[in-house]
Structure 1
Amino acid sequence: MIIGDPSRFAVEFELDEHHEREWLLGRFCYWVGGERVGDYESGTTLNVVLFRLTSIVKDSGKREHPELAALPGAELFRRLNAALHGSEPSPDEQRAMDEMWARFYVCPQHVDVFDSWRVFLVDAASTARLVFGRPQGGDTVREVNLTRGEFDRVLREAYERLDQLYERELKTSRS
């Protein structure tokens, strides 16, 4: 199932035929600018994805930051990645904590299929900048401009559909 427009932003997931009830074994990824982001073929547990998406969905509409939004894409990615995920101290660490920059990180954390990816979303007045890449692989940073709220709408729909699957399987396992 694909929700959204893969040439802009979409979420793709599918449930395995033998999905182990509420564990929801399956596959999950994002599509950003026509590129698959996440190791879809490896598979994952969709119930964990659902739980990890909760905080991203809750941050919907809270990702505006004019100063960060004005940075070039590679610099935006570098600053957010260094402050949130860097192994070296970053001059932005304290500011990132004070201003809650974690809200800009829109990969489900601790989900194996996204281990090598970083995806950040920063809203401006009428647009949203989605910057992504693999910092360990030396990939170049890519960027897709979305309408403000576009990412949040797609992600919320995917979240709701995953939640319906999870609730259905919980009911089945209790029967």
Structure 2
Amino acid sequence: MRFGITDRFSIEIVLDRVSGGDWLFGKICYWVNGVEVGNFDEGTSLRDVLFMMTTIVADGSHRICPKLLEFSNEKTFSLICNALDDEDETIYQYLPEDFQPARFDIRIPVDVFDDWKIFLVEGEFDAKLICRRLGAGDIEPVVMLRQGEFDDVLRQAYDYLDNIYKLAQS
């Protein structure tokens, strides 16, 4: 099942034929600007994905920082990455008070996404989704979305997994 538009942003989820009951073994990846982000072929527990998505879903519409959209992809990526790694606090001069940079991190923290850093910064009308595979030189892929587009797709995927999980428990 694919949610969203692959050439912009989508989430692909496939439940294994033998899913292990409520473990929900299967596959997941993001598609960003037509590029697969994550290791879809590796497979994972989609139950764990569901649980780990909760924070990202809750952060919906709370990633607004127009100033970061004005910067180059590299600068935006570096500011966020350095803040999350506690290497530099420069980003805080561009953020609203009490804003946590972790909100920008939209990588689902499960094994199939371990090789990626994935950030989303939103403005009033648009958003920039920036990805980098660990060890790669270039920031790629990058896509401009409309504000809230990522959250809409994420919510659809979350609801789908939640319904499957509830069925597996009954």
Query: Is the structural similarity TM-score above 0.5?
Result: yes
Task: Give runs of aligned pairs for residues 126-165 of structure 1, distance below 5 A.
Answer: 126-165=125-164
CA offset digits 1:44-71 (Å, max 9, x no partner): 0000000111011111111101221211
CA distance in 2, matches of 1:152, 1:68: 19
CA offset digits 1:19-65 (Å, max 9, x no partner): 10000000000000000000000000000000111011111111101
Task: Give runs of aligned pairs for residues 12-51 of structure 1, distance below 5 A.
Answer: 12-51=12-51
Q: Which residue matches 1:168?
A: 167
Bigger mean CA deviation after superposition, 21-30 or 129-138: 129-138
Q: In the comparison of the two structures, how many residue pairs are matched? A: 168
Bigger mean CA deviation after superposition, 13-22 or 135-144: 135-144
Q: Which residue matches 1:63?
A: 63
**Structure 1 runs not aligned, ≥5 long:** none
TM-score, normalised via structure 2 length: 0.92
TM-score, normalised via structure 1 length: 0.89
Structure 1 runs, 4 residues or longer, greater than 6 Å off: 93-97
Instruction: Give me the CA root mean square deviation.
Output: 1.8
Contact 1:53 1:159 in 2 (8 A): yes
CA distance in 2, matches of 1:135, 1:113: 13
CA offset digits 1:137-159 (Å, max 9, x no partner): 33434320001111100000000
What's the secondary structure of 1:138's corresponding residue? coil
Shift, 1:94, TM fit: 7.0
CA distance in 1, matches of 2:3, 2:103: 22
CA distance in 2, matches of 1:154, 1:22: 23
Shift, 1:98, TM fit: 4.6
Q: Which residue matches 2:104?
A: 104
Shift, 1:93, TM fit: 7.6
Contact 2:35 2:141 in 1 (8 A): no
CA distance in 2, matches of 1:157, 1:141: 25
Instruction: Classify 1:155/1:47 alpha carbon distance in 2 versus 1 (closer, same or farther; 3 Å).
Output: same
Q: Which residue matches 1:121?
A: 120
CA distance in 2, matches of 1:85, 1:169: 37
Letter in 2 for 1:99: F
